Amino acid sequence: MTPQAKHLEVILDTHVESVNLAEEMCLRVAEAIGFSEDECYRIGMSVREGVINAFHYGNQEKPDKKIHLAVDLTTEKMTIHVMDEGKGFRLEDVPDPLAEENLLSTSGRGIFLMRTFMDEFNVVPGKTGGAEIIMVKKIPPSNNGNHGSPTSDATPKQEA
Amino acid sequence: MASLFATCRQVGEVAIVDLSGRISLGEGSALLRKTVRDLVEAGQTRILLNLGDVNYIDSSGIGELVSGFTAVRNRSGELKLLNLTKKVNDLLQLTKLFTVFDVYSDEGTAIRSFR
């Protein structure tokens, strides 16, 4: 980790309120970095969708399982990791929500939104046994070095 | 975070639901589901959702809009949308749901559009 790199991590209960909590936490970080209002919205939405995915599909809403959220900050980018304790999934198995036959589906748009709103997006097997969503938002050069405060409010490895 | 508020009013044969707040996983989506379901079960087949004060919607909320649309259509009815905010408008464009929903920016025009 470089001197300017920062890491924060929280373990969330598998609960609807964790979705809001994760979104709020990452929004605070994004705002402190100096992302624009639109970019903050996209980051917040992506975190929200990632945690919804972990809550609903990964952990299948089982309260004994946890959702692991981590944020890594460097001067170049904000990287967000969302890990669940489910069975994992492969991106290529996720149906395309824009396909004609899926337009009236009531679910399945979260991955698409994360892919659309973030600069980089991937899903890999997580160290928690389930899926790990990794998404990156690049920090505009004018904002580089402006992330001193966000982690000062966050307690590492806090149980929510 | 503020949740969702819904108020129903009747204009002719059209049930208009004025929504404000967030349509997102949890209370927001649940309230929208219950509101549309109650209207459908009451025999209402012309439903106009006024989203003018809805400032946020996530994939769960989008799913609930689609679910409501399908539920009303299965009763040979129509569910249409009115007054989309920019964020909701952009999301419906992005997800291609603009091709599914009838969307209006004027209430009178929306009401007259129901068959």
The 8-class DSSP code of residue A50 comes to H
A154 found inside a domain = no
Over residues B63-95, the pLDDT tens digits come to 999 999 999 999 999 999 999 999 999 999 999
Over residues B7-41, the pLDDT tens digits come to 999 999 999 999 999 999 999 999 999 999 999 99
> From A110, which residue of chain B is nearest by alpha-carbon distance?
B59
Over residues A99-145, the pLDDT tens digits come to 999 999 999 999 999 999 999 999 999 998 899 999 999 998 876 65
**A13 chain-B contacts, CB cut-off 8 A:** none
**A112 chain-B contacts, CB cut-off 8 A:** 95
A158 found inside a domain = no
Q: What is the ipTM of this complex?
A: 0.92
A12 found inside a domain = yes
- How many domains does one find in chain A? 1
* pTM, to two decimals: 0.90
Q: Which of A24, A97, A104 sits opposite B70 (nearest CB)?
A: A104
Phi, psi of B65 (to 5 degrees): -60, -45
Identity of the residue numbered A133: I
Q: Do B70 and A19 touch (CB under 8 A)?
A: no
Task: Give me the CATH number covering residue A137.
Answer: 3.30.565.10
Determine contact: A104 vs chain B, CB below 8 A: yes
Determine contact: A1 vs chain B, CB below 8 A: no
Q: Do A19 and B26 touch (CB under 8 A)?
A: yes
Domain range for A39 is 6-148
**Which residue in A4, A125, A116, A13 sits closest to B59, CA to CA?**
A116
Over residues A12-27, the pLDDT tens digits come to 999 999 999 999 999 9
B111 close to B77: Cβ distance less than 8 angstroms: no
Kindly provide the b/e burial profile for residues B33-59, where b requires at least 16 CB atoms within 10 angstroms of the residue's own CB: eebbeebbeeebbbbbbbbbebebbbb
Chain pair A-B, CB pairs under 8 angstroms: 50
A90 found inside a domain = yes
Give residue limits of the domains in chain B.
4-83+94-113
Q: What is the 3-state secondary structure (H, E, C) of B44-87?
A: CCEEEEEEEEEEEECHHHHHHHHHHHHHHHCCCCEEEEECCCHH
A157 found inside a domain = no
A1 found inside a domain = no
Q: B4-83+94-113: which CATH number, 2.160.10.10, 3.30.750.24, 3.40.50.10300, 3.30.530.20?
A: 3.30.750.24
